Structures are given as C-alpha cells and as structure tokens.
Structure 1
C-alpha cells in the first residue's frame, strides 16, 4: 500500500515537472544552427566592411585612387590591341573589288581606317574595363573608395570657384578635381580656386565701375 502511494505521488510529481518544462519557451541556444551561423557571417561581414571604411583615411584614399588609375591606364593598351586585331580580322575577311569605290574612296583605305577606328575604340573603352577589373580584385576596398570619392567630390563642389568668373585669361582650374592626388595637391587646388575667384571678382568689379 505504501509502495503504491509512493508510486502514485512520484508519477504526479513527474507529470507536473514535465508540464512545467513544456510550458516554458525554448532557450536561444536551441535555435537552428543554420540561422545562427548565417547571422554571425552577416555581422562579421558588416563589421569588416565598417573597419575598411574607418581605416581608409584621406592619404590612403589618394593612394588607392592612384592605383586604380594605373589599372585603368594599363588596361587601355591591351584593349586597343584587341580592338585592332578584331577589326583587322573582320575587314581582312571581306572581299575587295578594286573597281568599286566607297564614297569615292578606295575600299582598302576605307577598311584600313575602320580597323584603326576599332583600335581607338578599344583604347577608349580600356579604362572602364580596368576599373571593373580593379573592383573585382579589391572587393570591399573598392566600395570604400567609391564612398570616400563621393565625399571627396562634395568637398570639390563646395569649394570650387564660380564658373561665371571664367574667361580666356582666367580659366577655371581643374573643375572636377581630377588632378588632385594628395592632401598637399588639394590645398594647392584650393589656393588656385581662391585665386580664380579673386581675379574674376576684381574683373567684374572694374567692369561695373566703368
């Protein structure tokens, strides 16, 4: 009898404990490992991106900008050669009739000019191809440079002189700031903008007095 009573009491206690545990919410560590790993990777990627942006100061920006321009210039030559070769392959395969002219010109001259045009076109497209290669090769750093460059052009727009002050004797120097390659170059650019504005203001003032 005592054993039966003890067994019944133990069963009731176990049922209450099981009901209590089932009514509680699952702890955070029971979440799916896939979602946890994905969230961790996203956080790590965001932190690394922020670190890249924070570590890119103005000196580093101008350095990376010069490197990007080098990639663009180096890509122009192979693209020009590729365009020249493609043009030569296409136009060399076309039949040439010496008795027929194109707009009064010999077909050989026309095909030669078209081949040279293909080379020039490749040379023009080359810098854009080089910039794409640079972005693929540098990833987060390339995006950080783009963000820093947007901030840089805001400074350029805010500090450049008024184009209305320009004239043949007083041209506006480096409107987009493309020649700025360092902090010292930026300071020199600012001095040129103030000088341009001073000359333009003086000239307009003297015209008004007349």
Structure 2
C-alpha cells in the first residue's frame, strides 16, 4: 500500500492514488515520512581465520559470564531462602526444610551458571554489533559446509561412532581438514561394514 503513494498514472491509477491518499490522511501518514525499506547495514566479510578468532572471542565472553551469573544466582537464592521462616518440626514433602532450602539455593547457582553463556553472548553482541553480525553470517555458511560434508549417521555403530556431528571442536582450518578426513574415514568404515553384511 505504501508503494501506491507515488504519482497516479491513468484513471484507474488516479482512483487508487486518491484512495491511498485519503487513507494516508486518515491514519496520519505523510508522503515525506513514508519509507519503503529500512537502511540495511552490511558488515565487512570475514575470512575463515578471522571467523575462528571471533568465534573463540565469543566463547570466551560466554565462559567469563558464566561465573558471575552463577555467583549472582547463588547469592539471590541464598538471600531468598534465608529470609523464609523455618520450623524444625515441620517437613516439606517429607524433607527437612533446611535441606530443601540448601538444595534450592544450589539449584539457583547452577541455573545462573547455565544461563550465563547466553548473557555473555548478549553482551558480546552489544559490545561489538558489527563483528557479531559478520560472525553470524559466516557461521551460517560454516554450518552449511558442515551439513554438506558430514558423514551419514546411518554408518554409525558402537565400533564406528560418528565424529563431531556439529563441528563444535573445529577451531581452525587445520582442524576443519582433520574433521573432513574423519568424516570420510567414518563413511568408508561404515560402507565397508554394510558391504560385509550383504
């Protein structure tokens, strides 16, 4: 509809234009303020070596955020459960309240530790949005390569497990080449065993 606010061409176009103009006056649109598309920011493409370096930096941010979040969760859980009244003769689901509160406090700490990497990733995106966007684009391409080159899980067995299905251990080009060799070896072993069964 916003594209119809241009100048009319022909009688049918004039009716559409007048209708759109009337509608724009009703909803308060002015032709000066209408944008057909938002300006897009295209980050500079990164090389594969830069991609692995940026990926390591992001993982470092995630790991560094896990510890403060765990301490924060432990402290918040401790503050909440320490303020609750405890009756020594009263049990909760057959458990001692002190034991239950202590376990719940530890659970809050573990929850903070598990949620910490997500918070670290958010801080990484806030700290360097251009690099984060470039990393996301390159990571999508990386996972397309992983999906196209990984071995078929059908060839897996107890003696021939599938090596690194998602490519999480790949941290350099040399590691990627090693991963490719392992995938081909897994496929070759699985094909050989399937051939023996027939």
Report what 1:88 is aligned to: 78
Shift of 1:105: 1.3
What runs of 5+ residues in structure 1 fail to find an aligned partner? 1-34, 36-41
The 5 A counterparts of 1:1-210 are: 46=41, 49-50=42-43, 52-53=44-45, 56-208=46-198
Q: Which has the higher helix share?
A: 1
Q: C-alpha separation between the residues in 2 aligned to 1:141 and 1:72? A: 15
Shift of 1:169: 1.2
Q: C-alpha separation between the residues in 1 aligned to 2:130 and 2:112? A: 28
Q: C-alpha separation between the residues in 1 aligned to 2:90 and 2:197? A: 63
If the length of structure 1 is used for normalisation, what is the TM-score? 0.74
Q: C-alpha separation between the residues in 2 aligned to 1:170 and 1:96? A: 55
Runs of 4+ in 1 over 3 A off after TM superposition: none
Q: After the TM superposition, which of the residue ranges 86-95 and 164-173 deviates more from structure 2?
A: 164-173
Secondary structure in 1 matching 2:157: coil
Structure 1 or 2, whichever has the larger Rg, is 1
Question: CA RMSD of the aligned region, Å?
Answer: 1.3
If the length of structure 2 is used for normalisation, what is the TM-score? 0.79
Secondary structure in 2 matching 1:180: coil
Shift of 1:84: 0.4
Secondary structure in 2 matching 1:161: coil
Q: C-alpha separation between the residues in 2 aligned to 1:125 and 1:157? A: 27
What runs of 5+ residues in structure 2 fail to find an aligned partner? 1-31, 33-38
Secondary structure in 2 matching 1:194: helix
| Number of residue pairs aligned between Structure 1 and Structure 2 | 161
